[in-house]
Each structure stands twice: as C-alpha cells, then as structure tokens.
Chain A
Amino acid sequence: MTERANAALEGMDRVVLLKDIEQFLYWEALLLDERRLNEWLDLLAEDIHYWMPIRRNIKFGDWDLEYSDPESEISYFDEGKDILTGRVRQINSGVHWAEEPVSRFSHLISNILLLEVNGDEVRVSSKFFCYQNRLQDEVNLFVGRRYDTLRRDPDTVFKIVKRDVILDQNVLLPKVVNTFF
C-alpha cells in the first residue's frame, strides 16, 4: 500500500519541485517515443534497479503473492543499467526483428504524485499508458503504475535510481515488450 510521507514542502518550493518532476517524466516519454534511446539511458543512474514483476491472480488477502518476488521469482524485468544498455544496443542494431521495423510508441504519463522528499531524492508515483502501433495493424496497449525514486542531477535535472513498473496484465497479451516504461 502506498503511503505519502514528508512530501509537505510549502508554497513555491513545492510547485517548482512538482513541475521539475513532471517535465522530467514528460521529457523521458518523448525520448522513448522518438527512439532516442541512448539519450534515455542518460536519464538512468548508474545504480538503477529496473523491475517489472509478473502479476498473479490471487485470493483476496494473499497480497504477498500478487507480484513475483524480486528476491526469488521470475519477473519481466529485474536488472540494472548494464542490461538495459544491452537492450538499447540490441534495438539500435537494426537487426532486432522484434523491433525492426521500429514501432510507433506513445508513452502517456499522468497521475503524477509526490510521495516523499528525502534529501536530494524524491519518491514519485505515476500512471503510464503506452500505445504501440507496429507494421500495418499490430496494436498493443500497456497500462499500469510506476513507482520511481529520482535523484537530483546537475545535467539532466534528475536521474532515475529505482523504477518499479506495475503492469496491469496477468498473461502478457502483447507477444513481446520492445520499449521501456
């Protein structure tokens, strides 16, 4: 369950911080849409942990079973910057048939919520709606929520230190995932 803590910055400080976060997340979405994946990698901290669990159908109350356990179970993504960089190299190789020819992606970001301010780091939750249109008529929809830890950065405003991607699917309906959320 998500709690909000220590997010009560006052007045303009809060407005500026929220705007910085919002513009950063929108900029990230634009880089993904425009296939500027090397620039997207620049937004990731060297120590990023990027995780997207598999979600189970579970009995009400068995909440600890809902998401695949990052300590012992299989997730869709559970990795750091080295593997993410490898994925970008693969897409950019021009022979990654699952994303060649490249897709038309629209990453829509909304419901941005500041959860916590902790020194130069903030915890943020947002919703994503990612529309994929590929070849003639291949359409995939990815909808869910993200939980991010962002760290202030002099070059890129923030770096993403941790991202949990909670996709609203059980059996993955698209045949592959060729983008990032």
Chain B
Amino acid sequence: MANLITARGDRSLRSLIDTEGGTVSRELYVNEDIFEQEQEQIFGRCWLFLGHESQVPNPGDFMVTRMGTEEVLVVRGRKDNQIRAFLNSCAHRGMKVCRYDQGNALVFTCPFHAWTYDCNGALVGAAYQYAPYAYDGGIDREQWGLTPVAQFKNYYGSLWATWDPKAPSFEDYVGPFAEGIRYDCEASDGEEAGIEVFRPFQKWRLPTNWKVPAFSSSTDLTHAAMTHRSVNAAAIGPDRGTMSGGERHKRRAPFPADRFAAGDHNLGHGGNWTVYQQPGVPEYVDTWFEAGVDDYFREARDRKAAKYADRILPPHGHEGGHFCVFPNFIMDSWRWRWWHPHTVGVVERWSLFGVDKNAPKHVKDAVRHYVMRYNGPTGATESDDMENWNYVYAASQGARARKRNYFFANGLGRGIESDQHPGVVFNGSHTEEAHRARFSRWLAFMEASSWDDLYPINRAKSHRIW
C-alpha cells in the first residue's frame, strides 16, 4: 500500500513514522484503510497463536479459536492423534461449520446444507450428494474440504499457525525468542513441555485498536506505577499481600543477571529480556498463602536447579516470560494473552494460564485462584489497563488529535545492537526499544509484497528504521 488518505492528506506509510524524532502518527491506530491492509499484510502472513495442546487432549476433541478477525477450528485427528487447524467456514457457502466453543466430535456437519467434514477436515458427505437429480456423486471431495492453515506448529505444547505457505518455519519466525517460548512451556521443575492450561479461554471485548495493547503491554514497565496504583489496595498477591508478578508467581532470591528491554527490529518481537550471568536457578523464596504450595514449588525448583546446574538458563523475560511475539501475542510465563482485531476500533482479548501439569490439586487451585483475581475483565490488576487502552482510542480519533504523533522516543539512540542476533537491540529495561522494534517490523510487513522481502527469508534485509 503506497498511499492512503489521512487527516493530513495523502501520505506514504513510511512518512507516518518519524524515526528521527521517535514518534508515530495516530493514523496507524485509527485509519480504516490501514486496518484493512493489516489483515492481509500482517494477519495473513504471520505465525499466530491458537491455543495449547492440553485443550484438546483426546482424539476428536476440538475447540474454536481465532486468527485475527477469523474463526479457526482446532481439532485432534481420530486416527492419527495429530492436531490440525481449519478456517471455521464451510467450503460450500461459508457457514460456520462449528458453533461450539469446545467438545468432542466424530464429524462436523454444516447446519446449512449438511456438508460434512471429518476430523482431518476432509469432506465426507453432503445432502443429496448421490441424488441423480442433484450432485449425482459429482462433488470433488479432494477439492472441497475445509480450508486448512498453510502451516501448523505444535511448539512444546503451544499451538501456532500461519495462512501463508511461504512463511518461514516457526522457529525461524520467532528467532532468538524461540528459547524463551520453550522455557515458558517448561514446568517449574524443568520438565520439557511440562505445563497444561486452565480452560476455558478468557475472552472479552475492548473498544480500541488492536495495536494499542498488543504493541505495548508486557514491554512497558513505565506504566505500572501509575496505571496499577490501586492494586496494592486490593492485596491480591499470592501471599494475600501486595506482591504480584514474578516467574509463574514464585519469589526468587537475588541472582546475578542483566535486564534489558530488547527489541528485535528484524522480526518485531521483543520485551523484557533477562540474561543470567551464571549457571543455575535462583533459590526459591516462600511466596504462597495457601498451605503446602511453597513446599511443592521449592522442591520443583531444586529439581530444575539440578537440570541447569551447568547451564545458564535461556534468555527469557523479566523473571519469567514477558515478551511479545509479533504481531499480537504476549508470552508471560504464567499468563499468555493475545489480541484479536475485530474492527479498527474493537479488539477481542483472549487469555490462557499455564500450570505444571503434574502439580497436585492444591497447587493448581492456588495458582488458578490467583490467576482469576489478577487477570482479565474481573482481574484487579488488568482492569485498569483496559480503561487506559479504551480511552487512548477515543481520544485519538478526532481530526485534530490525529495530527499529534504518539511519543515512542524513550531510550531512542541509546540501544546497543546485538552482535549475536541481527536486528536485536538491547536497551534500558524501562525504555521503549521493544515498541520501536514492533514498528520496524510493522512497516516491513505493510510494505512487503511477499515473504521474499522479509527477514528471515531475505536475510540481506535489515528492517530497523530507528
């Protein structure tokens, strides 16, 4: 998309980002043409998060999830136990073939004309399929199955997909953040892919542009003191005090580590990035109000420390996971949250919460109750974020408001480029480096005509714009 009509007349997308001043036009957030282009250029190409394998544990289990504005049916095959994902829209005339949030199915029969698909997405029948006065056996079943995602990845239990067959592998797509995602899927004792998620998805609507939260939350340490001023009054911490956050909400003893805001300008991911300076795992410090929970986590920590006795933990987020996978997924060790655009001014937020799958019930219960009082539209902490993100949008729509750029210059020019990871810039933990990386990548996606123009397929290309 070369040009668009904005409050300031025709402009190129590139001109809407002032890389010298560190500012971004509000048009990116309120312009409907840009929103429409994003659906094709970004959500049509990127790897997007679908859910967790523990939500569909048995053959025939399914759930309906989303990829941006579109519904996706995730189902575990009855014969091969493989998880697959399809557009939730009948190949015949587009009706949703599944309108249940979750369940177990033999087949999915469209309620319109009974086109019927098996758990592998193949068309297995339709009303009047053999009637000589109708289809007369003439439906090409090969051609008329459900629309599958182009690529699907089960990454240590976390499920991802892209609509673009030319997209790079998931591991290449997430680049240096792959290890952080793997680490967040580990159980507290270091067991690989050792977590499950509490069902169901938490879902709610918020009147704002999807980028307001998706390009900000979990990489924005400067908002907490003001936005979350009231949460200490609620005393909702695991200890029923004011403590919150931390690696899957467990306290840790001090440990030598460097903490940065890291932005990957080539890939768009970024957030808090903790690099431990020595092997091992910090000592556990009692965290929990509920009896017996600390005992479990302390023992788990000790097993993990044995696993990592000679290894430095993978770089991960601030005391856990705390980073964004471009474009709309935020991985934070104990809460995964992502933002589905609906329209330019409406986003739907989804969340899942991980817990050690082998933890005893009293541990799962304690974690679950903490998760519920912290997160979501009824969470004492997250509810305040919603107010800010909501009214950012309302106050940015006007013709005059659109002429004032947003400020993203915190730390501009002070970052240090990694010699290990091309495009990754390390900066102070409270800077907006990770925000800026998102815009580098956002512009690259919006301008690129295909994945051939995009890192990592085109490694000659650097997308850093500031």
Contact = CB atoms under 8 A, between A and B. Distances in A.
Contacts of B229: 93, 95
A74 B383 contact: no
A175 B386 contact: yes
A178 B383 contact: yes
Contacts of A65: 102-103
A76 to B, nearest CB: 4
Nearest to B352: A74
Contact of B207 (A62, A77, A171, A175): A175
Contacts of B205: 171-175
Contacts of B202: 54, 74
Among the interface residues A77, A86, A92, A93, which one has the most CB atoms of the partner chain B within 10 A? A86
A176 B103 contact: no
Given A90-B231, A93-B233, A171-B204, A82 B372 contact: no
Contacts of B227: 97
Contacts of B364: 72
Nearest to B64: A57
A79 B368 CA distance: 11
Nearest to B376: A76
A83 B383 contact: no
B403 interface: no
Among the interface residues A59, A98, A173, A177, which one has the most CB atoms of the partner chain B within 10 A? A98
Interface SS of chain B: helix, strand, loop or mixed? mixed
Interface string A61-100: 0100100100011111111001100110110110111100
A89 B353 CA distance: 26
Contacts of A68: 199-200
Contacts of A78: 369, 372
B238 interface: no
A59 B371 CA distance: 28
Interface residues of A, number: 38
A77 B378 contact: yes
Contacts of A95: 229-230
A89 B199 contact: no
A75 B376 CA distance: 10
Contacts of B369: 78-79
Interface string B102-126: 1100000000000000000000000
Contact of B380 (A52, A86, A173, A174): A86
Among the interface residues A87, A96, A174, which one has the most CB atoms of the partner chain B within 10 A? A96
Interface string B200-238: 101111110000000000000000000101110111100
A118 interface: no
B449 interface: no
A39 B311 CA distance: 56
B100 interface: yes
B43 interface: no
B378 A90 contact: no
Nearest to A90: B234
A68 B376 CA distance: 15
Given A57-B100, A73-B198, A98-B387, A172 B373 contact: no
Nearest to A73: B199
A56 interface: yes
A96 B100 contact: no
Contact of A59 (B100, B200, B373): B100
A2 interface: no
A58 interface: yes
B19 interface: no
A32 to B, nearest CB: 16
Contacts of B387: 97-98, 175-176
A111 interface: no
Interface string B377-389: 1101001101110
A181 to B, nearest CB: 11
A106 B273 CA distance: 46
Nearest to B388: A97
Contact of B373 (A62, A79, A96, A98): A79
B99 interface: yes
A62 B198 CA distance: 19
A58 B199 contact: no
B101 interface: yes
Given A56-B102, A98-B387, A74 B377 contact: no
A89 B236 CA distance: 11
B204 A58 contact: no
Nearest to A173: B205
B240 interface: yes
Contacts of A173: 204-205
B147 interface: no
Contact of A176 (B200, B371, B377): B377
B240 A74 contact: no
Contacts of A89: 233-235
A87 B380 contact: yes
B383 A73 contact: no
Given A90-B380, A93-B233, A171-B205, A74 B371 contact: yes
A6 interface: no
B377 to A, nearest CB: 5
A71 to B, nearest CB: 8
Nearest to B371: A74
16 contacts: A56-B101, A57-B100, A65-B102, A74-B368, A82-B240, A89-B233, A89-B234, A90-B380, A96-B233, A98-B387, A170-B101, A171-B205, A174-B205, A175-B206, A175-B207, A175-B390
Given A58-B100, A74-B198, A173-B204, 7 more contacts: A54-B202, A72-B364, A78-B372, A86-B235, A89-B234, A96-B384, A98-B386
